Structure 1
Amino acid sequence: MQLSLSQQNYPITYPIKMSGTLTHKIIQKRDYIRVDGTAALYIQIFLDGKRKKLPLNIYVEPKMFDVKKQRVKGKSQLVKDYNLIIGKKVADINNIAVSYRLAGMYLTFEKLIEELTNPTAKIDFIKFWEQQLEKQKDLLKEGTYRQQYSTLTKIKKWKATILFHEIDEDLLNELILHCKKTLKNKETTIQTTLKNFKKYLHIANKKGIKTKLSFDDISIKSFKGDRTFLNETEIKEIYEYYQSKFISESHKNILDRFLFACFTGLRISDVLNLTEDNFIGDFIAFKSEKTGKFQKVKLNETAKKFITEGVIFKGKYTVEHINRELKFIAKVTKINKHLTFHVSRHSFATNYLIKGGRVENLQKILGHSNIRETMIYVHIVDAIMNEEMSNLDGII
């Protein structure tokens, strides 16, 4: 159990019995007094009948150490810092012992020292996640790896360390609240965070690491997802900005990619992977990074405007950078929508159907395995048409 700051500064009766075989207490080596009159403090550990002293790198005069309370006496800031260090070391030992016991692992002196000096993935979920994600790096698709790495980074900013025995329903609710209130995440983003958290907890549980909250206790809500799209007028507004003399080079390069996708329906992962070899006459042929399917899409004349011979697209940008800049571009063009690169794919699909395209052909272009995925866009277009019927009410 992690000690609070107030607990770390107040008396604790030692030695504490941790598991039936492990106890510890704070001692001072008074048989060796340094020139300045101070003596070293140690934490003395008893484990399976063996004893070992670990230095705390704290030196105080013997009269300043309270043997009974096992804390440094005084009210100065230095004394408070010393007692925080002592409390932290005690808490670390407690956490290691509890983690090993709950996981059903045998704790030896060697393992205890190793965990104290270099906490491992056996007790720290964050380190476990880092380790497992690195192992899967070559197996995961680039977009999937990037998403899971992004979730891990978000959680590390929230808590640098999450011990396995701390993972319970309360911690999960804290995480959800942090995503909602502090990060202002949308519900779909929160569910993605939980999905990735659950995945690595599942791996840990399968490896025999026991937690109060197991992976199958975490339920993930299903969402149809955000289908924000740009209508014809909004695409024209972005194109006007694209052609203006005020646009920066990076924005122009980013809009080359975005507008190209608005007229082809390609995902950002596939757009970023395009080379000259993918262009065959009036077609682009590629293997979709997300689905692994081979796709062949005919290029319309508008899409051709946004590619540059020899380099396809100028500059190199990460997905994160592109999405950040698209939000800025939305403000510049006064488009009051949450603009991300994926909006280009929704825009293509919706406008394709509005202009009379057949849903069966759209399914092939988008690379959907199931027609139901594509039918979502049909429902969007139907809703638009129904809404426009009320426009006739103003005639008479």
Structure 2
Amino acid sequence: MSFTKVCKRKTTAMQVHTNQLYDPQNYPTKMSGKLTHKIIIKKDYVRTDGTCALYIQLFLDGKRKRLPLNIFVAPKMWNEKKQILKGSSDLTKDYNLVIGKKLAGINRIAVSYRLAGIYLTFEKLIEDLTDPSSKVDFIKFCEKELEKQKEVLAKGTYRQQLSTITKIKKFKDQILFQDINEDLINELIIYCKKNLKNKNTTIQTTLKNFKKFLHIANKKGIRTELKFDDITIKSFKGDRTFLTSEEIKTLYEYRESKFISESRKNIVDRFLFSCFTGLRISDIRNLSNDNFIGDFIAFKSEKTGKFQKIKLNESAKKFINESNEFNGDYTNEHINRELKSIVSSCGIKKRVTFHVARHSFATNYLIKGGGIQNLQKVLGHSNIRETMIYVHIVDSIINEEINNMDDIIN
């Protein structure tokens, strides 16, 4: 054998070896055959009005399938070569639009399955044409996965993730897996910021939930241009709005006034109870008489799953009834809507949600001399760094108040 032939053989072997190293092997061994389609007019059956039915004729893996378009036209109106209806009437334009959208839908589904590495059959194609599959549509996938987890997720977590899906549906009514790329994520961030006026922490929560469902999809073999680990979740210091002791007192005076409605009083009771205990709204909602043991409340936190035991101060006891319960039953959304109006009526110019009560408890606890490690236990924080945020708030207040000394001689 000549030296040239030996070299060629070695080169060929090296090319094969290189291809084996670098050619992706993740694609399924059995792929769908080429999907082709054509619009046909069924001339063998003419209706009494002289029209015939139009069908989409599909070929896949050597099989043929006809899908009715529910469009009936005179045979002379059909342009076989251009695959459109002749004429310029509004009805003709509408029919051509319907045909175009149906064909675009078929092509989109075929491409989505191919990119996702899922074998496409006629059954799946027809199913997805009538009801987009969760293997193609990311939003439907999210809804399906969330329902699977409904029984194991904490109620607050479920509501939060459901809220994210609702937000994404408002952003786009359909997101195909093939459309998930960096541009889409940037568009979603801009939409949350400009259209919904979301704060940075809220936007990052939305991205965190988006990433979670994309992770599940990627683990199930659904390939996307942007993978879940390409999405970076940034850490922002959340909004730590809190009420001062004077503002809490103002709310209490409002509660004691004879002008307050029973409904508003019940809501203020919950809020003030949190101001003196640090409990989240989800845990307050779950409290019953069984959780009260003498001067203590014992409960399992809905968010963390931790068992907590907190001593009740005398102020907190004022806001529960004789049965150690709260009067009335209200949704979180209703409570937060009412709180905005209540604090406005009290002349408090702060953006208040129920969680502000927890921040108020933590900040005032430290201002009154409470220890940081004790506060960590009361709040149920796993990491002391979470609790340290309130130390920084108190430090900034002290630094600010030092400047008030200038008023003595100025």
Q: TM-score if structure 2 supplies the norm length?
A: 0.88
Trace 1:215-364 onto structure 2 (pairs within 5 A): 215-310=228-323, 312-364=325-377
CA–CA separation in structure 1 for the residues paired with 2:75 and 2:342: 67
Match for residue 199 of structure 1?
A: 212
1:81 matches 2:94: yes
Instruction: Work out whether residues 56 and 69 of structure 2, in 8 Å CA contact, stay in contact via their aligned partners in 1.
Output: yes
CA–CA separation in structure 1 for the residues paired with 2:127 and 2:292: 55
1:35 matches 2:48: yes
1:143 matches 2:156: yes
Gaps of 5+ in 1: 1-18
| One-letter amino acid matched to 2:373 | E
Q: TM-score if structure 1 supplies the norm length?
A: 0.91
Give SS of 1:196's match: helix
Greater Cα offset, 93-102 or 362-371: 362-371
Match for residue 13 of structure 2?
A: none
CA–CA separation in structure 2 for the residues paired with 1:269 and 1:310: 19
Per-residue deviation, residues 60-99 of structure 1 (Å, max 9, x unmatched)? 2223322222223344433333222212211111111001
1:169, distance to aligned residue in structure 2 (A): 1.3
| One-letter amino acid matched to 1:49 | G
CA–CA separation in structure 2 for the residues paired with 1:242 and 1:269: 22
Instruction: Work out whether residues 42 and 53 of structure 1, in 8 Å CA contact, stay in contact via their aligned partners in 2.
Output: yes
| One-letter amino acid matched to 2:209 | N
CA–CA separation in structure 1 for the residues paired with 2:330 and 2:85: 55
CA–CA separation in structure 1 for the residues paired with 2:312 and 2:216: 44
1:32, distance to aligned residue in structure 2 (A): 1.7
Per-residue deviation, residues 99-135 of structure 1 (Å, max 9, x unmatched)? 1111112212222222222322111111111111111
**Which of 384, 387, 403 is equivalent to 1:371?**
384
Greater Rg over alpha carbons, structure:
2
Greater Cα offset, 257-266 or 56-65: 56-65
| One-letter amino acid matched to 1:159 | K
Give SS of 2:326's match: coil
Trace 1:106-125 onto structure 2 (pairs within 5 A): 106-125=119-138
CA–CA separation in structure 2 for the residues paired with 1:285 and 1:390: 43
Change (3 A) 1:334 1:85: farther
Instruction: Work out whether residues 42 and 55 of structure 1, in 8 Å CA contact, stay in contact via their aligned partners in 2.
Output: yes
CA–CA separation in structure 2 for the residues paired with 1:249 and 1:59: 64
Per-residue deviation, residues 249-292 of structure 1 (Å, max 9, x unmatched)? 32221111111000111111111110001111111111112222
> What is the count of residue pairs matched by the alignment?
379
Match for residue 66 of structure 1?
A: 79
**Which of 164, 169, 172 is equivalent to 2:182?**
169
CA–CA separation in structure 2 for the residues paired with 1:103 and 1:276: 53
| One-letter amino acid matched to 1:387 | E
Instruction: Work out whether residues 296 and 310 of structure 2, in 8 Å CA contact, stay in contact via their aligned partners in 1.
Output: yes
CA–CA separation in structure 2 for the residues paired with 1:80 and 1:227: 57
CA–CA separation in structure 2 for the residues paired with 1:187 and 1:83: 45
Give SS of 1:146's match: helix
